Structure 1
């Protein structure tokens, strides 16, 4: 590595495993490495490498700042935002980067510290000062960040939709009020992600006389959840199907097979779920609770307060013909994706200096 080239240090989760935050960090690393004028150094703070290697990587990530502090080299630092105790580690990185005079970007992938004040996030904002750049996933996420942490001065929006390919025309017919309608729910199947509410929504439609089915996809997390799902499959017969874990072609087939994606998640760390974006990319309307930044992603009448009856909202939308048309859902995704691609390009330019 040349001592005269600008260095961009990337500290964030990297695949494996693949999830929204690691995919974003990996894409950022790839975009930075396309720039010939910089060198990229990565520190994986994810949990894929095992605890001993992870701790060594974290310690090494801090030690690499020491020579730069002495030399006062103006490099750049990109942090793929973490959650929990790792935020304290990232607060130390932000402080060292500021002392070294580096341009520093914190890319938020968590919403838990937006619903309540978290001292670790407050430390990141304070240590970073007015020069710390915050990248959020939606305008509302940015507003909430600045309302809770007044020192977050500079905020840029970059949706996870920029990770995906553009929407393809589907030619889907509108869902008829009397059915048939196929609901879908794809996730790690847990109570926090709302698998029980998805099943109850199917029951509510059937009780109301709607010709409906539900397709569940993803692994059950916890013996109690698997027992819940298998009992419901036995109870509801051909109306409920559980596909288990899917590979990429099977995910594509899943979205092509459904008419409405239901995502009743109440998971506290939810940010901008890729599964909801993927539904829109396939022209599938979605109904969800307003966790993370989903309030900015979906039509207002498709966003259901956590303490409200999501099943009733789905029933009313289906019966009243109020579901978002397929073409509108796809266009909504493409608009978000186009803005995200531009935002990521501008972010790379700033980091490259």
Structure 2
């Protein structure tokens, strides 16, 4: 059985990459794998302390790579950490240690970045890439010709599911948005859509949840309060039962993201698991999540408001059908996840991967 040096962020703080890294580690340990974890989470420190702390962790990982014959797994960082990950991959190749890199963000997949090109070249053709969707795999191969060895593991297995039975009692609807609320996640489009839907006498309420991350979003929340009055509710960050109530209370989930590192948003998977049709954008791996779910994926070049209103006009009568389609899509993704994660576990725990 291969010992595994497992490098990546773990909660806290809680975010998509940390959740994914922790869930995979727990699954591997349940399969009997022995992990040596290097936690790259740096907490809430000032910039200098954070950078120093992260570099020290990478130096410690480097020492372990050079002193041990271990399989290396890296949950890739999106920014400067990519260069540090490239160094680890190069050291592992020097030691002829099998290596796996897990891509949990998309910007470096969509456009060629020097740091990622260096990492791929350092790893060689035997470097195993784990991606979140089939489309992500195709984009990775198109951007980096050297990235030839990959497997897909979707994110459905790491989200919490909710047993919610959706019921529509009238011809008005409640729309919801849950995110780290910021300009890039589309807060302005959410508010504009609610205002126009209220004008069209379709909207019952807009519910927004999640922490506010910038001044722009603070202003948009205030605009929603002013324009929508009693038809608007801001709930702040939601967890546990509060998140269940959020999904129970809404009819449609609105997610007009243009965030450059968006890959496979966990909140979209949570929404379709709860049977909530989603209206979102075609960035990154989102179309593959929403495909067949009864929701709507709009091109980022389209007018999001018009496209959403057209969807409501053409699909609101089929709401319950689309709600069931959403649940079925998540079930299909979850079945695929089980097969995918078992395959990776077998490779990691029981089969010697090609040396790089």
d(CA) in 2 for partners of 1:207, 1:28: 46
Distance 2:122 2:168 in 1: 52
Structure 2 runs not aligned, ≥5 long: 352-356
Q: Deviations over 1:239-292 (max 9, x none)?
A: 111111112110111001101000001000001111111000100010111122
**For the residues of structure 1 that align with 2:79 and 2:92, how far apart are their CA atoms?**
21
Residue 34 and residue 10 in structure 1: after superposition, are their counterparts in 2 closer, same or farther (change >3 A)?
same
Structure 1 residues without counterparts, runs of 5 or longer: none
Contact 1:8 1:78 in 2 (8 A): yes
- 2:77 is equivalent to residue 82 of structure 1: yes
2: CA distance between counterparts of 1:17 and 1:42?
16
- Within 5 Å, give how 1:1-353 maps onto structure 2: 6-36=2-32, 38-48=33-43, 50=45, 51=50, 52-68=52-68, 73=69, 75-165=70-160, 168=163, 170-173=164-167, 179-299=171-291, 302-321=296-315, 325-352=322-349, 353=351
Task: State TM-score, norm by structure 1.
Answer: 0.91
Instruction: After TM superposition, give the deviation of residue 224 of structure 1 in Å.
Output: 3.3
> Is the 8 Å Cα contact of residues 261 and 285 (structure 1) preserved in structure 2?
yes
SS at structure 2 position matched to 1:244? coil
Q: 1:49 to 1:201 in 2, by over 3 A?
A: closer
User: Shift in Å at residue 229 of structure 1?
Assistant: 0.6
Separation (CA, whole Å) in 1 of partners of 2:93 and 2:271: 40
CA distance 1:149–1:222, shift in 2 (3 Å): same
Contact preservation (8 Å) 2:189, 2:305: yes
**CA 1:23–1:64: 2 relative to 1, 3 Å:** same
On the 8 A contact 1:138/1:293 being kept in 2, the answer is yes
* Moved beyond 4 Å, runs of 4+: none
Deviation of 1:166 (Å): 5.3
Per-residue deviation, 1:310: 1.4
Answer with 100-109 or 257-266: which moved more.
Answer: 100-109
Say if 1:171 and 1:232 are closer, same or farther in 2 by CA, change over 3 A: closer
Deviations 1:324-343 (A, max 9, x none): 61111011011111211221
CA distance 1:181–1:41, change in 2 (3 Å): same
Query: For the residues of structure 1 that align with 2:88 and 2:153, how far apart are their CA atoms?
Result: 22
Which deviates the most, 265-274 or 307-316? 307-316
The 1-side partners of 2:126 and 2:43 are apart by 31
Q: 1:231 to 1:174 in 2, by over 3 A?
A: closer
Q: RMSD of the TM alignment (CA)?
A: 1.9
Judged with a 3 Å threshold, the aligned counterparts in structure 2 of structure 1 residues 218 and 103 are, in CA distance, closer, same or farther, namely: same
Contact 1:183 1:259 in 2 (8 A): yes
Q: Taking structure 2 as the reference length, what is the TM-score of the superposition?
A: 0.90
1:174: Cα distance to partner? 5.7
Are the equivalent residues in 2 in contact too, given 1:182–1:258 (CA < 8 A)?
Answer: yes
Decide whether the 8 Å contact of 1:132 with 1:152 is kept in 2.
Answer: yes
